[in-house]
């Protein structure tokens, strides 16, 4: 747990270093219009997750069979290599191809959660995964600040080199510091499931299936604004050091995550993770609207901090719910399907945000996002309060 916390910290910090200036990096390739930059920011950001959508269940199934540590080493090395190569790219299409390659390797943090989940009892799954999540959000907290400062001070190329180096360090830490206990993950007496049986199991668990669908909707809503945030900060401030200021806006959400993620997991252990997820989705929907109404940077940072406090509990609570709902011998693959839904949301969100903003402006993306989160909360609330109707719907 200690090693994985720090490994997740390094990977998350390194990955988020490039997020605040992705749209600015695209502008260095040529003299493009704002709408062109906004659209390609969404496409380039999302293509990684579209690729990962198809790969994640495969990683999960391999993890169930052979262990999660080898996957952590492979995916971490792949992410580091792809980011290193980005320092040499000189075109939008070249960056697009590298992001595709990165998608094949994406999965370090979800795999780490599957590793810890498989070796944690159901009674404390929410608390434990929430604690692990603080490592991820701590890295997310510092990553944008570091990336923004490096980009403004030394340029984008140097930032990519640092990012890749830190991820390689995390891989080394896992390779020599982790001793995966397969005895806790597998019991020879426990049934081993085929891929068809795993899919059938998911389809016949109404709330489990809806949790995965809602993972898609939540990620689409959350990532709709991510590639555009630097441009939005530029509109609010008109400052020259946009990358650094965008780093503050990114980090505000991460700081809110850091303070609240573990406590949301503990609450889910007590009252039920699905109930906590409903609360968080309604709260997230409410807190997205003030971000569109912000007239200064400090207002945006404040509301993104509050948004971070509620959205930080979604991933650990969803993972903990799957931990309690799925048999141990198929959890890696089930978590892989859940991650695939999340990655598909990561594809839809940035593309949707880029297209909407190019026609109606960046602030309109916040309103659409709020509506998606509201609908997600209503769907899950209905499933919890009418479980018998949800069961009949799935059977039919």
**In the chain, what are the domains?**
2-178+195-395 (1.20.1250.20)
CB-neighbour burial class of residue 173 (10 A; exposed 0-12, middle 13-18, buried 19+): middle
**For the chain, what percent of residues have pLDDT higher than 90?**
5
Q: What residue has token string 């980090």?
A: 251
- Go through 194-214 and write b for each residue having 16 or more CB atoms within 10 A of its CB, e for each that does not: eeeebeebbeebbbbbbbbeb
pLDDT range class, residue 394, cuts 50, 70, 90? very low
pLDDT range class, residue 182, cuts 50, 70, 90? low
Lowest average pLDDT, out of 140-154, 194-208, 293-307, 364-378, goes to 140-154
Pick from 237, 104, 44, 82: which is nearest to 167 by CA?
82
Non-local CB neighbours of 89 within 8 Å, separated by 6+ positions = 95, 98
pLDDT range class, residue 216, cuts 50, 70, 90? confident
Instruction: Please say whether the beta carbons of 86 and 155 come within 8 A.
Output: no
Taking only the tens place, the pLDDT of each residue in 101-140 is: 888 887 777 778 778 777 776 667 667 776 776 777 667 6
**For the chain, what percent of residues have pLDDT higher than 70?**
86
DSSP string computed for 128-182? HHHHHHHHHHHHHHHHHHHHHHHHHHH-HHHHHHHHHHHHHHHHHHHHHH----H
Instruction: Please say whether the beta carbons of 128 and 266 come within 8 A.
Output: no
Residue 272 DSSP label = -
Instruction: Please say whether the beta carbons of 273 and 318 come within 8 A.
Output: yes
Return the pLDDT at 290: 92
What's this model's pTM, rounded to 2 decimal places? Answer: 0.69
pLDDT at residue 59 above 80?
no
Return the pLDDT at 282: 92
Q: Across residues 166-171, what is the average pLDDT?
A: 87
Identify which of 194-198, 210-214, 279-283 has the greatest average pLDDT.
279-283
Give the whole-angstrom CA distance, residue 6 versus residue 136.
8
Q: Which residue has the higher pLDDT, 71 or 251?
A: 71
Return the pLDDT at 380: 83
Q: What residue has token string 């599957």?
A: 114
| Torsion, CA 378, CA 383, CA 386, CA 390, rounded to 10 | 130
Mean pLDDT of the chain: 79
Return the pLDDT at 187: 52
Collapse the DSSP code of 311 into the 3-class scheme (helix H, G, I; strand E, B; otherwise coil) and give the result: helix
pLDDT at residue 81 above 90?
yes
Residue 219 DSSP label = H
Return the pLDDT at 77: 92
Q: 352: which 2 tokens? A: 């949707």
Return the pLDDT at 194: 75
Return the pLDDT at 41: 78
Return the pLDDT at 139: 72
Taking only the tens place, the pLDDT of each residue in 16-57 is: 676 667 777 888 888 888 778 877 877 887 787 778 778 877
Lowest average pLDDT, out of 297-311, 324-338, 357-371, goes to 324-338
Return the pLDDT at 183: 58
């Amino acid at each position: 747990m200690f090693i994985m916390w720090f490994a997740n910290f390094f990977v998350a910090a390194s990955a988020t270093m490039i997020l605040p200036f992705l749209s600015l990096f695209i502008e260095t390739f040529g003299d493009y219009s704002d709408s062109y930059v906004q659209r390609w920011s969404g496409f380039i950001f999302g293509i990684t997750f579209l690729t990962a959508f198809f790969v994640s269940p495969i990683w999960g199934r391999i993890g169930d069979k052979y262990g999660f540590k080898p996957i952590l080493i492979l995916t971490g090395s792949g992410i580091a290599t792809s980011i290193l190569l980005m320092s040499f790219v000189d075109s939008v299409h070249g960056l697009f191809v590298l992001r595709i390659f990165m998608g094949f390797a994406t999965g370090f943090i979800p795999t780490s959660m599957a590793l810890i989940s498989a070796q944690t009892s159901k009674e404390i799954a929410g608390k434990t995964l929430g604690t692990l999540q603080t490592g991820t959000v701590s890295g997310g907290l510092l990553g944008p600040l570091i990336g923004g400062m490096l980009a403004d001070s030394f340029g984008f190329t140097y930032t990519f080199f640092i990012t890749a180096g830190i991820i390689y360090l995390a891989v080394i830490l896992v390779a020599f510091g982790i001793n995966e206990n397969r005895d806790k993950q597998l019991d020879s007496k426990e049934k081993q499931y085929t891929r068809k049986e795993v899919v059938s199991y998911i389809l016949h668990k109404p709330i489990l299936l809806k949790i995965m669908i809602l993972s898609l909707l939540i990620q689409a809503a959350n990532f709709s604004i991510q590639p555009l945030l630097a441009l939005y900060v530029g509109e609010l401030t008109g400052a020259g050091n946009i990358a650094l200021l965008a780093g503050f806006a990114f980090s505000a959400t991460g700081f809110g995550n850091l303070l609240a993620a573990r406590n949301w997991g503990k609450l889910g252990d007590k009252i039920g993770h699905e109930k906590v997820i409903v609360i968080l989705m309604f709260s997230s929907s409410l807190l997205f609207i003030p971000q569109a109404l912000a007239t200064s940077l400090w207002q945006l940072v404040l509301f993104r901090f509050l948004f971070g406090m509620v959205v930080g509990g979604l991933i650990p609570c969803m993972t903990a719910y799957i931990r309690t709902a799925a048999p141990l011998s198929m959890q890696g693959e089930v978590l892989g399907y859940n991650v695939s839904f999340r990655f598909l949301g990561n594809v839809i969100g940035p593309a949707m945000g880029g297209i909407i903003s190019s026609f109606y402006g960046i602030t309109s993306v916040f309103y659409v996002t709020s509506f998606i989160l509201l609908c997600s909360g209503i769907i899950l609330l209905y499933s919890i309060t009418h479980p018998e109707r949800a069961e009949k719907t799935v059977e039919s």
